[in-house]
Structure 1
Amino acid sequence: MSQVVHGRAPPEIGAAADQRNTGAVRCHFHSKKGLLDAVFAHRMEPASMLRQQMLTEFDRAGRGADPRAWCRR
């Protein structure tokens, strides 16, 4: 995706995504930045949930204050 987005206009991004409506990026995301923000949020949500779950497990095990334990899991 980064090869497609860098230096490209939103209509080009839509065309590269096989969208017939080359204005789809602007219509749905309002800008290239809006598209990138949406992709970032989509990817970060599961990672943040997993991170929170792991930190909760460390706290329950009494290892929440030890960053070295986070690496050993």
Structure 2
Amino acid sequence: MNNRAPAPSGDRQRRIDPELLEILVCPMTRTPLVHDKEASELISEAAGLAYPIRDGIPVMLVEEARRL
């Protein structure tokens, strides 16, 4: 049973494992991503896309990414 308290409902950002951030790459260009903590996104400068992070989980789908 999980005894962890749920995150506050307004908390869009959850901590992302730094090791995960090191291995994630843009699915379109296979280039490294930049973590924008304020926007809760992973930025692919090469593709000009921002991948959302929802509930602490990166959504690495091109069709879900925002154009920069």
TM over 0.5: no
TM-score (norm 2): 0.24
| Larger relative contact order (Cα-Cα within 8 Å, sequence gap ≥ 6) | 2
TM-score (norm 1): 0.23
Report the structure, 1 or 2, having the larger helix content: 1
Indicate the structure (1 or 2) with the bigger Cα radius of gyration: 1
